[in-house]
Amino acid sequence: KGSTDGGAIGQLWIEDFDNKTRKKVHRQARLLIVDGHNSHYTKEFLDYTREHNIHVLCYPAHATHIYQGLDVVVFSPLKNYWTEVRNTLKSSTCQKITKKNFITIYEIAPLKALTPETICSAFRATGVWTLDQNIISKSAATSTAEPCLCHHISYVSVSKQGQRYSM
């Protein structure tokens, strides 16, 4: 059904993010960029982010195809590698892809697609890092349907070589 159990998954994700990033930043603020799904905005989730110095920035609703690195950069090579793996299997064996063997066969594609180079390219292509507010055209940015609740939750500023950017 796609349910996230009233925010339980979002809570697990934020705690995992905190555990995996806390030691790397030595008490500095961290930025977590999320999509507009309401599981990210439970009271518990937001209380946790405030208590642990995590700023949440939300992509505008219905705009991940413009802003999110996964959609803009990563999914295309992933789809291509999956097609390659599937076609190789089809042409070299008589094995069919079933629910039982899908994960074992599929796992090859993300290993090829999710390289550090691809991931860094996703952040560059969407202007997240290094910060470039001109990557997304103003017309594309204003074509999103509705604002995200998260825009009102946290003020985030990013410094880059002496310059200060507000988001």
Please indicate, yes or no, whether residues 30 and 58 belong to a single structural domain of this protein: yes
In degrees to the nearest 10, what's the CA dihedral of 105, 110, 112, 117? 180
Please indicate, yes or no, whether residues 22 and 44 belong to a single structural domain of this protein: yes
Using one digit for the tens of pLDDT, what is the confidence trace for 4-41?
567 788 899 999 999 999 999 888 999 888 877 776 67
Band of residue 71 on the pLDDT scale cut at 50, 70, 90: confident
Using one digit for the tens of pLDDT, what is the confidence trace for 125-150?
888 776 666 666 665 555 554 544 44
Please indicate, yes or no, whether residues 115 and 76 belong to a single structural domain of this protein: yes
Count of the separate structural domains present in the chain: 2
Other beta carbons within 10 Å of 166: 8
Which residues constitute the domain of residue 96?
69-125
Please indicate, yes or no, whether residues 135 and 89 belong to a single structural domain of this protein: no
Please indicate, yes or no, whether residues 55 and 73 belong to a single structural domain of this protein: no
Using one digit for the tens of pLDDT, what is the confidence trace for 79-114?
999 999 999 998 998 888 999 999 999 999 999 999
Whether residue 52 contacts residue 28, with contact meaning beta carbons closer than 8 Å, is answered with no
Please indicate, yes or no, whether residues 13 and 58 belong to a single structural domain of this protein: yes
